[in-house]
């Protein structure tokens, strides 16, 4: 069909492009004149395709069609006029001219909300349904016969922008093209619009958008969101016009608090809170406004209303001055009508439009990609000086976002002042637990409390999951470009590195980790993990699949790798930060949101991590941290219907219970890293020095609180006595003491219950007849110190040969010389399969043994050598699923197959 497209905007451009794809001939495009030398997007697309473009300033004069315009229109020979979005009045001589007449898109469910501000009035009136109509055009009254309608639900906090992006734009383009398809097929209906239910509202203008405060909270909310962003609902506050943006209804079971703000005509003063401006309706219920704009165009977060209008100016260094000059050139290239860009030059008053905002944000990314600039930021810093100051603060990590309120516990320790958050972290804020419940976290070095920590309750879990769900489904995180997501994770890793000494110190006093090990491994590997997975964000790809074709049609089948949604993570106490990083980094890189429960006895680095995610600019709700009891918090996460995946590291017994709960609740995806009893086989042809050194590490690394610790060493008979003697000599050299002392080799066990378990474990070994060579006792000093221990003459039936100690206890058994298959049989005679090791100079033997060992990781002539790029996980009752490496991403992704017939 020969079609004339009459209209404008990106919407018009999309309709134009889709009609061309359908095979229609676009004979001409009629659009608006260029503005400030810039063509409308519809005109730009048509000109690029070589389609005739007409840019009439007007079509009629004094109510009559302009003859010259009418003549030019008739020359194109259109069979149908399509008006996807048209702000001009088109005369009936043009509307009725084509063979098939004219159709027009209208953003309402006609006959309701006739008029140009239809979407606005849909929200202002509180309609529960929105939608669009394609109707046969009339004389601009929106009363012509209906051809096609589509509708959608209106969400409580929808704005014009959200409905437009979610439904009216994408479905409107499809609907307009479908209407043309019906006309071409001769199946297009003409349904007369009923007058019943018909409404007509005038164009919403700024002077008419003043807020009437004598309304309910819901009506106020509808008025503000219905005018957001244009023309903007406003009221007089402190003697000036203030425009309100970003309204949401508030859960009125929550008590509002903040600094009072008098608003003339309001039923009671507003409250400037850390979340925004709380407003009250005449029914006593509340709504929350996010942003405010003043008469001079300056926009601020509503939470900052009472703060100083101008922050102290930052002094630029040479690199920042160079950046400022680059941006001055950019502003000049955008604001072509401005002779010189000076500090006071206002971006919008100088003629910039919304597309210029997009360009400016992208220009900043090209020059300083660490600046996490959003379109909204430009509206809040409209002068050149404000803009540069804002960018520089973001460069320095002082980005002027809503200030994070942290109630720190401060300690002067390890030659530094550490600042530790101690509350729950939910939806981007540190908050007390339900009912104000707390518990004390204990320093294992002296057995004394460090601080009170909020103890999460079931209601807190539900709030955190709801926040994570909203962030994933509705928030910025779910819509974020993967590369931008990667930038945030890189920035988080940088902040962790800047705070590495503080994090390592917190880890030492909270978990007993030796400071030097905490710095290198607990914290160092955590930073490496986030950097590794940040690089994966924009490399998650699907595949195309050559399926059997359905002739005469053809098919394209491809897969999409998509994030799962809300993921729960439950981690242990032995590596509090590193276990967090191993799971959370892959989870976030895949695009999920997280609710994490740290071990109750070691919560402090997790809540410090939460602070750093906020400082890095992670959107609210993406990361939530809930210190608390596993029986309550972990159980609720397992049972929660909105949690779609749970990752757990801990005991096999608890892992089985979690797996059952996850299955019963909603068949959520599970990955488990559970117990271990890792065998280490040492052959007589080994490098003895290395075998002793690495054998010590395999057991005593991190005080034996290591999931892959060698739970049992099998030493070939010819070297058994020599190996034991050498090990005991090395054990006696180990310095046991304060983990903050740089010369300490062995710190305290994590907590008293674990210390008591180790004492009992060793007593059991002695009773069964194993030979206690050294250690086995609690050291008589404050704190939870336990002697590094060595047992020999351990037989396969003994308790200590089968059960994990999870402590500094070396279990040594001997095996007959040359009996490789027998020792393999003994090594594999366990329900665990997390890790294993072998020491030999014989490469053939090493390869054979590594093939036969039933474990997820095999170390050959080394031990504890994990790397962020290498997958880690167990076999049998040591669990399933992988941490680290590319395979870890699979735990946090789902695969969708898409088949298209063409």
- Find the helix or strand (DSSP H, E) in which 857 lies: strand 857-860
Beta strand spans in 262-374 (E): 270-273, 276-280, 286-293, 299-301
3-state DSSP assignment of residue 622 = coil
**DSSP-derived 3-state class of residue 61:** strand
Active site residue 754: no
3-state secondary structure of 729: helix
Q: Does the annotation flag 90 for ligand binding?
A: yes
The reply to whether 511 sits in an annotated binding site is: no
Phi-psi region of 608 (alpha: psi -120 to 50; beta: other; left: phi over 0): alpha
Cα 644 versus chain centre, distance: 15
Q: Is 314 among the annotated ligand-binding positions?
A: no
Task: Find out whether 53 and 32 touch, Cβ atoms under 8 Å.
Answer: no
The CA-based angle 630-880-710, given to 5 degrees, is 85
Distance, CA of 236 to CA of 213 (rounded, Å): 11
The reply to whether 567 belongs to the active site is no
89 is in an annotated binding site: yes
Q: Do the annotations mark residue 804 as ligand-binding?
A: yes
Residue 536 marked as a ligand binder: no
- How many other C-beta atoms lie within 10 A of the C-beta of residue 210? 15
The reply to whether 205 sits in an annotated binding site is no
422 phi and psi angles, rounded to 5 deg: -145, 10
- Distance, C-alpha 569 to centroid of its chain: 14
Contact 478, 485 (CB under 8 A): no
385 annotated to bind ligand: no
Q: Is 50 annotated as a binding residue?
A: no
Check the annotation: does 757 bind a ligand.
yes
Q: What's the rounded Cα separation, in Å, for the pair 561 and 541?
A: 6
Find out whether 634 is annotated in a ligand binding site. yes
Which tokens sit at 98? 């084509």
Instruction: Name the β-bridge partners of 150.
Output: 132
Contact assessment for residue 595 and residue 569, using Cβ atoms and an 8 Å cutoff: yes
Under a CB-based contact definition with an 8 Å cutoff, are residues 581 and 575 in contact?
Answer: no
637 assigned ligand-binding residue = no
Cα 249 from Cα 836, distance rounded (Å)? 56
Q: Which of 24, 97, 100, 106 is catalytic?
A: 106
Is 556 annotated in some ligand binding site? no
Q: Is 145 annotated as a binding residue?
A: no
First and final CA of the chain: distance in angstroms? 21
Instruction: Please name the residues in contact with 399: beta carbons below 8 A apart, sequence gap of 6 or more.
Output: 372, 390, 393, 617
Residue 651 labelled as part of a binding site: yes
597 labeled binding residue: yes
- Which one of 97, 686, 707, 762 is the catalytic residue? 707
What contacts 192, CB < 8 A, 6 or more positions away? 145, 146
**Which residues, 6+ apart, have CB-to-CB distance to 88 below 8 Å?**
6, 32, 56, 58, 59
Catalytic residue among 673, 705, 716, 787: 673
Q: Is 854 annotated as a binding residue?
A: no
Residue 843 annotated as lining a ligand binding site: no
Residue of 225, 348, 204 whose CA lies nearest to 287: 225
Question: Does residue 599 have a known ligand-binding role?
Answer: yes
Euclidean distance between CA atoms 771 and 510, whole angstroms = 34
100 assigned to active site? no
Q: Report, as residue numbers or ranges, the catalytic residues.
A: 106, 673, 707
List binding-site positions for NADP(+): 571-573, 597-600, 630-635, 650-651, 757, 804-806
List binding-site positions: 88-90, 142, 571-573, 597-600, 630-635, 650-651, 757, 804-806
List binding-site positions for (6R)-10-formyltetrahydrofolate: 88-90, 142
């Amino acid at each position: 069909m020969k079609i004339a497209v009459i209209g404008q905007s990106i919407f018009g451009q999309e309709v134009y492009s889709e009609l061309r794809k359908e095979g229609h001939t676009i004979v001409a495009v009629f659009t608006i004149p260029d503005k400030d030398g810039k063509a409308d997007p519809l005109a730009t697309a048509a000109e690029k395709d070589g389609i005739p473009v007409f840019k009439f300033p007007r079509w009629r004069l004094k109510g009559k069609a302009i003859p010259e315009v009418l003549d030019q229109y008739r020359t194109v020979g259109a069979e149908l006029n399509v008006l996807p979005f048209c702000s001009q009045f088109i005369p009936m001589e043009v509307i009725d001219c084509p063979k098939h007449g004219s159709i027009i898109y209208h953003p309402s469910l006609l006959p309701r909300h006739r008029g140009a501000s239809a979407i606005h009035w849909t929200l202002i009136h509180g309609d529960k349904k929105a939608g669009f109509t394609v109707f046969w055009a009339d004389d601009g009254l929106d009363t012509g016969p209906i051809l096609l309608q589509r509708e959608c639900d209106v969400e409580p906090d929808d704005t014009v922008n959200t409905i437009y992006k979610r439904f009216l734009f994408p479905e409107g383009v499809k609907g307009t093209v479908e209407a043309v398809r019906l006309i071409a097929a001769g199946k297009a209906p003409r349904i007369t619009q009923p007058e019943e239910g018909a409404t007509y509202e005038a164009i919403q203008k700024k002077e008419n958008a003043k807020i009437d405060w004598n309304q309910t909270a819901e009506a106020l909310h509808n008025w503000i969101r219905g005018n957001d962003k244009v023309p903007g609902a406003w009221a007089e506050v402190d003697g000036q016009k203030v425009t309100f943006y970003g309204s949401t209804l508030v859960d009125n079971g929550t008590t509002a608090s903040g600094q009072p703000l008098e608003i003339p005509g309001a039923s009671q003063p507003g409250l400037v809170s850390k979340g925004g401006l709380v407003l009250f309706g005449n029914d006593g219920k509340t709504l929350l406004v996010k942003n405010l704009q003043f008469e001079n165009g300056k926009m601020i977060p509503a939470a900052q209303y009472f703060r100083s209008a101008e922050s102290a100016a930052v002094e630029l260094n040479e690199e920042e001055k160079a950046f400022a000059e680059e941006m001055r050139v950019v502003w000049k290239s955008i604001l072509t009508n401005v002779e010189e860009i000076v500090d006071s030059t206002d971006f919008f008053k100088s003629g910039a439009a919304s597309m210029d905002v997009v360009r400016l944000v992208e220009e900043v990314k090209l020059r300083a990609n660490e600046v996490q600039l959003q379109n909204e930021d430009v509206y809040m810093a409209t002068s050149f000086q404000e803009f540069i100051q804002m960018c520089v603060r973001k460069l320095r990590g002082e980005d002027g976002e809503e200030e994070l309120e942290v109630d720190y516990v401060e300690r002067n320790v390890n030659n530094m002042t550490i600042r530790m958050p101690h509350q729950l972290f939910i939806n981007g804020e540190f908050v007390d637990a339900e009912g104000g419940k707390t518990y004390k976290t204990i320093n294992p070095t002296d057995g004394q409390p460090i601080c009170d920590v909020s103890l999460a309750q079931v209601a807190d879990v539900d709030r955190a999951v709801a926040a994570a769900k909203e962030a994933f489904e509705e928030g910025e995180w779910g819509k974020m470009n993967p590369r931008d997501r990667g930038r945030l994770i890189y920035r988080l890793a940088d902040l962790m590195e800047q705070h590495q000494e503080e994090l390592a110190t917190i880890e030492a006093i909270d978990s007993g980790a030796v400071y030097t090990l905490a710095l290198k491994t607990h914290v160092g590997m955590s930073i490496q993990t986030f950097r590794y997975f940040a690089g994966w964000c924009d490399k998650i790809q699907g595949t195309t699949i050559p399926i059997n074709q359905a002739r005469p049609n053809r098919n394209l089948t491809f897969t999409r790798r998509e994030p799962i949604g809300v993921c729960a993570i439950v981690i242990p106490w032995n590596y509090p930060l590193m276990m967090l990083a191993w799971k959370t980094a892959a989870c976030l890189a895949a695009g999920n949101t997280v609710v994490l429960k740290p071990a109750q006895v070691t919560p402090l680095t997790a809540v410090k991590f939460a602070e750093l995610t906020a400082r890095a600019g992670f959107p609210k709700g993406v990361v939530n941290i809930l210190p608390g009891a596993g029986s309550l918090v972990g159980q609720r996460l397992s049972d929660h219907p909105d949690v779609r995946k749970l990752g757990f590291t801990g005991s096999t017994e608890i892992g089985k219970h979690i797996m059952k709960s996850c299955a019963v609740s909603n068949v959520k995806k599970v990955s488990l890293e559970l117990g271990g009893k890792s065998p280490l086989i040492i052959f007589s042809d080994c490098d003895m020095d290395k075998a002793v050194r690495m054998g010590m590490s395999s057991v005593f690394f991190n005080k034996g609180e290591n999931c892959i610790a060698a739970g049992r060493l099998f030493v070939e008979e010819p070297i058994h006595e020599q190996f034991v003697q050498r090990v005991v000599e090395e054990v006696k050299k180990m310095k046991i003491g304060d983990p903050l002392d740089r010369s300490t080799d062995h710190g305290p066990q994590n907590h008293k219950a674990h210390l008591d378990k180790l004492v009992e474990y060793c007593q059991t070994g002695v009773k069964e007849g194993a030979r206690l060579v050294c250690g086995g006792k609690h050291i008589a000093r404050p704190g939870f110190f336990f002697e590094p221990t060595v047992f020999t003459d351990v037989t396969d039936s003994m308790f200590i040969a089968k059960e994990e100690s999870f402590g500094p206890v070396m279990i040594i058994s001997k095996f007959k010389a040359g009996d490789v298959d027998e020792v393999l049989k003994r090594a594999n005679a366990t329900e665990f399969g997390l890790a294993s090791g072998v020491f030999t100079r014989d490469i053939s033997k090493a390869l054979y043994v590594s093939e036969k060992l039933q474990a997820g990781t095999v170390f050959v002539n080394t031990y504890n050598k994990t790397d962020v790029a290498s997958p880690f996980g167990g076999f049998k009752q040591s669990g399933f699923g992988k941490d680290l490496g590319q395979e870890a991403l699979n735990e946090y992704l789902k695969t969708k197959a898409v088949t298209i017939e063409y």
